[in-house]
Amino acid sequence: MRVLIIDDDEAVSATMQAVLSCHDHEAVVARCRREVTRELEAGGYDIVLVDWTLPDMSGREAIETVRELCLQAKICIVTGMDIDDIEAEIGAAVDGLLQKPFDIQMFMSVIDGLR
């Protein structure tokens, strides 16, 4: 499975990428709008993990970009913010929500649920 990780936090994105790789998933990291657009235009992603707060685009903008360029991808918001607030704002626009910090078991449970 191909997973795009949209997160500007290098430690968090590197951890997610390493865990996914250990579970035989191909994981690519995009940290800014330009990288997100480039990766999504290349296509082929099954899951897109989106940090809700990015330096040059909002989580909502990232979701809209994913929906526009990679229709088949499942989207999961990964955030340190209050999930209830985000859920109220976006409704059913995403397929999953994951609160930071999280452990590997919870992370993989969410990933497995998005298959």
- CB of 25 closer than 8 Å to CB of 48: no
Give the Cα separation of 43 and 100 in Å (integer): 27
DSSP β-ladder status, 2-6 and 47-51: parallel
Angle in degrees, 0-180, between the axes of helices 33-42 and 59-69, rounded to the nearest 10: 20
pLDDT of amino acid 90? 80
pLDDT of amino acid 86? 82
Give the Cα separation of 5 and 15 in Å (integer): 11
Give phi and psi for 75, each to the nearest 5.
-115, 130
Domains annotated on the chain, with CATH: 2-113 (3.40.50.2300)
pLDDT of amino acid 68? 94
Residue 35, token pair as written in the block:
């990288």
pLDDT of amino acid 92? 67
pLDDT of amino acid 87? 79
Per-residue pLDDT of the chain (115 residues; tens, 9 = 90+): 999 999 999 999 999 999 999 999 999 999 999 999 999 999 899 999 999 989 999 999 999 999 999 989 999 999 988 888 887 778 667 999 999 999 999 999 999 999 8
